[in-house]
Amino acid sequence: MATRECIVAGELVGMQLKLRCRFYSDGTTGVRVLECPQEIGLGNIALSGGTYCGDEELKHVQMDVNASTGEFAIVLRLVGTFDNVHGFRGKWFNSAINLQGTGLFHLPLSTENISTHRSSPLYPLVPGKYAFTGGAIGANGRVYPSCITLQLIEGEAVNGFVQEYLVPQQCQIKGTWTPNQISWRIQYVVENLSSEYVYYATPMLRLLRGAWQRCNVDEIESLAAESGRFDYELDYAERRWCRKYHKYFPPLFQSIVKTLLYSNSRPKTNRLPSDLWCHVFTFVHYDWFIDPIE
């Protein structure tokens, strides 16, 4: 999986930004803010929900921008195109005032490369340790930057922790998972008051996206402040492949197994080499070698 990675820089509604963008092959876009105005701060701005369609020459891109400080909050929607000549350009509109505020933006291309060193996909999930960087975003536009470490245990249990930065603290995670979804709960403390929050996440190719809310709905005073969405990008994964999950192995792994076995097959007997087979058997799914039924 080759990932298109680029850096764009320019002005957006008066803010000078430098962004790292990754265009993943499943149509999702991961964006990380590298530079922003000091009065806002890196932890108070997030570009999330990015998607695109198109080809290598021209991509049609959409994403959300949230920036918040003690004095104001900005909630924007970006709709535009990305190409190798102009970078990322298009229109923004203000999501908070019924789409009436709008304007143009242009973030020229700074540098570009193809990233292959982080090609291992997040989906489908298997047991192991996963680390993410990103944040939760309230319905009021407030940004809660954090890093998450998840330990997926065989038997569908989830342990781990989230390192929160807006109100610095480390929250323990307890939850459950399947190959297609993760859910967990944390206790979040503000001014010595503890509240429980639940998160529901769907894994993308390299992104973990979903929704969060306060568990006790009766205690929610502001839906805008006590619910929202989140967007995390995978930093690294230490997977523990086992036979139960071998049908989810990446296609590249399957191809390598086939190549190794068939390249060492016995010409006269047309049999696969037993010395190699015994080493890879645990990791092989039977239908890899069966032609699909027409």
What percentage of the chain reaches a pLDDT higher than 70? 80
Look up the CATH number of the domain holding residue 145: 2.40.128.30
How many CB atoms are located within 10 Å of the residue 240 CB? 12
Residue 120 resides in a domain: no
Res 294: pLDDT:
40
* From 50-59, 92-101, 185-194, 277-286, the region with the lowest mean pLDDT: 277-286
On average, the pLDDT of the chain sits at: 84
In a domain, 294, yes or no: no
Q: Looking at residue 20, what is its pLDDT? A: 94
Query: How is residue 166 written in tokens?
Result: 């807006």
As a whole number, mean pLDDT of residues 255-260 equals: 73
Three-class secondary structure assignment of the chain: CCEEEEEEEEEECCEEEEEEEEECCCCEEEEEEEECCCCCCHHHEEEEEEEEEECCCEEEEEEEEEEECCCCEEEEEEEEEEECCCEEEEEEEEHHHCCCCEEEEEECEEEEEEECCCCCCCCCCCCEEEEEEEEEEECCCCEEEEEEEEEEECCCEEEEEEEECCCCEEEEEEEEEECCEEEEEEEEEECCEEEEEEEEEEECCCEEEEEEEECCHHHCCCHHHHEEEEEEEEEEEEECCCHHHHHHCCHHHHHHHHHHHHHCCECCCCECCHHHHHHHHHHCCHHHHCCCCC
Q: Are residues 22 and 8 in the same domain?
A: yes
Return contacts of 217-220, CB within 8 angstroms, 24+ apart: 219/195
Pick 59 or 241 by higher pLDDT. Answer: 59
**Model pLDDT, residue 271:** 60
Quick one: which of 156, 159, 120 has its CA closest to 253? 120
Which pLDDT score is estimated for 141? 86
Residues 104 and 176 in one domain: no
pLDDT recorded at residue 173: 97
Write down which residue in 115, 146, 179 finishes a domain: 115
pLDDT of residue 37: 94
Which of 198, 215, 239 is the C-terminal boundary of a domain?
239
Query: Can you give the residue range of the structural domain that contains 178?
Result: 128-239
One domain for residues 139 and 96: no
Q: How many domains does the chain have?
A: 3
Residues 12, 92: one domain?
yes
Task: Tell me if 107 is assigned to some domain.
Answer: yes
Select the more confidently predicted residue: 118 or 197: 197
Q: How much is the average pLDDT of 219-224?
A: 72
Mean pLDDT calculated for residue range 41-66: 94
> Are both 77 and 134 inside the same structural domain?
no
Contact of 89 with 207, CB cutoff 8 Å: no
Q: Same domain, yes or no, for 207 and 267?
A: no
pTM: 0.83
- Give the pLDDT mean for 38-58: 93
Among the listed residues 53, 7, 48, the one whose alpha carbon sits nearest the alpha carbon of residue 30: 48
Angstrom distances, CA of residue 39 to CA of 31, 33, 67, 138, 277:
21, 15, 11, 20, 61
What are the residues whose beta carbons fall under 8 Å from the beta carbon of 255, sequence distance 6 or more? none
